[in-house]
Chains A and B, each alone.
Chain A
Amino acid sequence: GAVVSQHPSRVICKSGTSVKIECRSLDFQATTMFWYRQFPKQSLMLMATSNEGSKATYEQGVEKDKFLINHASLTLSTLTVTSAHPEDSSFYICSARGAKGGETQYFGPGTRLLVL
């Protein structure tokens, strides 16, 4: 199946710093990428949807200035958590969908963010 990678897999940072998470589709061109957040024992929550070369569409309640998304190429999308606070600590997962995957979304392995 299609492969999606995320980096880093785990990050610990101080409150107030910014953290960038990369999501790459390794063997297909991802025309659409999705960013999710999952708190412990809760369901995936879609944060935003991005299409290559255009601005991301954010879900209600997600601050676009705090969670910066860049989908600069068909294989790379980045999520930057700006001025992170402890309440931003969560499991961030990206997924990608493209021509090879059809309607199927392939997920990255996720990034665990802990803000101290």
Chain B
Amino acid sequence: RKEVEQDPGPFNVPEGATVAFNCTYSNSASQSFFWYRQDCRKEPKLLMSVYSSGNEDGRFTAQLNRASQYISLLIRDSKLSDSATYLCVVKAGGFKTIFGAGTRLFVKA
């Protein structure tokens, strides 16, 4: 089993749609969780951290479920510019950071 698993997609949604991604992790001792966004042929960029109580940043909402060991990202009112690959990132103890393979999102007009 992979340490961090994501549905690779692609998710094809129309503008204005709401889309959600899930990510599961295997290490119950994982401590920190993030969502990164990676555009084609570019480096990953931090989208948001994920907190235990859940957190929201504009149209983006992240949630953490430690009992089930998954995190989620919800995007409301999708924009064309949201088209990218979304990477789930999990940090265990020490310096080890594990990246998921990413979920590809295409938002169409």
A contact set with B: CB distance below 8 Å: 1, 32, 34, 42-44, 46, 49, 91, 93, 97, 103-110, 112
Contact = CB atoms under 8 A, between A and B. Distances in A.
Contact of B42 (A103, A105, A110): A110
Given A32-B95, A103-B32, A44 B46 contact: no
Given A34-B97, A42-B101, A103-B91, A109 B44 contact: no
B59 interface: no
Interface string B66-109: 00000000000000000000010001000101011110000000
Given A34-B97, A91-B41, A110-B42, 15 more contacts: A42-B101, A43-B100, A43-B101, A43-B102, A44-B44, A44-B87, A44-B99, A46-B97, A46-B99, A49-B95, A104-B34, A105-B97, A107-B43, A107-B44, A109-B42
Given A32-B95, A34-B97, A103-B32, A108 B43 contact: yes
A93 B42 CA distance: 9
Nearest to A109: B43
Contacts of A44: 44, 87, 99
Sort A-B residue pairs by CB-CB distance and give the 5 closest, nearest first: A43-B101, A107-B43, A44-B99, A110-B43, A93-B43
Contacts of B101: 42-43
Nearest to A43: B101
Contacts of B45: 107
Contacts of B32: 103
Nearest to B44: A107
A43 B59 CA distance: 25
Nearest to A40: B41
Nearest to B89: A105
B22 to A, nearest CB: 16
Nearest to B99: A44
